[in-house]
Amino acid sequence: MRLAHRTLLVAAGALLLASPLLDAALRLAAAGRWAAAVAIAASAAAILAGAAPFAARRVSVWLAWLRGVAAGRESEPPEDLPEEFAAVATGIDSRAKAERERRRIEAERARLLEAVLERLPDGVLLVEPGLRVRFANRAFRELTDVSDPTGRPVTELVRDPDLRESLERVLREARPGMVRVAVPPGGERRFEVRIVPEGGRALAFFRDVTRLDRLEAMRRRFVADVSHELRTPLTAIRAYVETLLEEAGAGTAAYAETILRHARRMEGLIDDLTDLSRIETGAVPISPRLVDVERSVGAALEQVAPARREKDVEVRLRLPPGLAVRADPKRLEQILVNLLDNAIKFNRPGGRVEIGGRRRPGWVELWVEDTGVGIAPEDRERIFERFFQADSARSPERKGTGLGLAIVKHLMERHGGRVECRSTPGRGSRFLLEFPDPPREDR
């Protein structure tokens, strides 16, 4: 007989002998005959104690071998190993091998990812809730001249309140953010920091944009100078053409009208270029105060009324009573006019434009939604760039300058807000404006 079977038989026999004795001991105890109950229970315990060491020793040998299998140690199984234990061991061995392979692959991926991050020219920072550093790559360590920033507060490494605020917002709202910082504070090197949520943490990418900022400053100066130089001769051309129209006959009036129309279009382009250049450089003052949204919407609708009548576009308002935002009244109206002009220009005849708003925790949202042709997904990321037009064929009779949405974006940033576009080709677009919500006592 195999040792395993003998072990099981010994244990079973001991249980069969001890069970009646234990039952009798319980009955005697219930009857109050404690001395007899204790004596019989002691006899049952002696029977079990005699069999237990033998069975326990064998079971402990089997369990020790199973633990070795689970840990990946290869050894010959005991000769008396029951078939049930062998089956369990096979399953454990398969799972253990699969788990070791999974861990090996994960470790290899982690090493590869760390190697890639270490070689990136941009600084990479992983921040925990509480703004403590979990990981920093070589570029960031060199940028801050700190050999091991792990566990330290970000505010000790980059002392910039805008960066702190952006990181806290991303951690709180789980939405991407972007901010520009100087490292060290007040220094010449400028960094664009893109922050994305990552598993309850914030992942920040520091890109050096110092050279790009210098080139951008040169571009802005060039645009401002060209706009100024073009405005003078264009004003003269328009004045002369208007004079000619007063005296022109039927044959030449059409030509003069064409010249005047294009001169006005050029003036609009120069106005937009000048405005955008001044907004980008901070030359346009922003004087925020509490503004009634419905009143600003009404003023903007008056400016686009001729285009709305021409396209026969219906306007619907969905504004809660008394909704207000903290903004510069003139610039808020400019934002709304640019969005409404696009919503009408790229709408279908007889289409609809909806202007809505609501308050949510921390923000006031306004939106302009149309039933136009919509914007393709590949174009939505670029529509806020200067001169970019999603599709010049959308409205060939009414092309714009491609600067309106760039102006909207920069004005929203000057207000501490943001703008985003949601669109479905063939169904329309919605432009969402988000303004920081004023304190309750200021509403």
CATH number at residue 197: 3.30.450.20
Q: For position 434, what pLDDT does the model report? A: 95
Kindly report the pTM of this predicted structure: 0.53
Cα–Cα distance, 337 to 339 (Å, whole number): 6
Cα–Cα distance, 292 to 297 (Å, whole number): 9
Domain membership of residue 413 as a residue range: 289-442
Please tell me whether residues 17 and 73 are part of one structural domain: yes
Residue 239 maps to a domain = yes
Q: Answer whether 189's CB lies under 8 Å from 213's CB.
A: no
Residue 138 maps to a domain = yes
Q: For position 77, what pLDDT does the model report? A: 67
The amino acid at residue 5 is: H
The amino acid at residue 61 is: V
Residue finishing a domain among 171, 187, 208? 208
Total structural domains in the chain? 4
Q: For position 301, what pLDDT does the model report? A: 94
Please tell me whether residues 271 and 296 are part of one structural domain: no
Angle at 329 between CA 225 and CA 177, to 5 degrees: 75
Q: Which residues of the chain have pLDDT under 70?
A: 1-96, 250, 390-401, 438-443
Cα–Cα distance, 41 to 49 (Å, whole number): 12
Residue 102 maps to a domain = no
Please tell me whether residues 163 and 221 are part of one structural domain: no
Q: For position 205, what pLDDT does the model report? A: 93
Q: For position 379, what pLDDT does the model report? A: 84
Residue 421, both tokens: 């576009």
- 313-328 pLDDT, tens digit per residue, is 999 999 999 999 999 9
Please tell me whether residues 193 and 128 are part of one structural domain: yes
Residue 114 maps to a domain = no
Please tell me whether residues 293 and 438 are part of one structural domain: yes
Residue 338 maps to a domain = yes
Residue finishing a domain among 230, 257, 280? 280
* Alpha carbons within 13 A on the beta-carbon side of 156: 14
Please tell me whether residues 293 and 437 are part of one structural domain: yes
Reading phi first (left if > 0) and then psi (alpha if -120 to 50, else beta), residue 282 is in left
Please tell me whether residues 193 and 223 are part of one structural domain: no
Please tell me whether residues 169 and 81 are part of one structural domain: no
Residue finishing a domain among 256, 280, 304? 280
Q: For position 86, what pLDDT does the model report? A: 60
* Alpha carbons within 13 A on the beta-carbon side of 69: 20
Please tell me whether residues 147 and 263 are part of one structural domain: no
Q: For position 417, what pLDDT does the model report? A: 92
Residue 92 maps to a domain = no
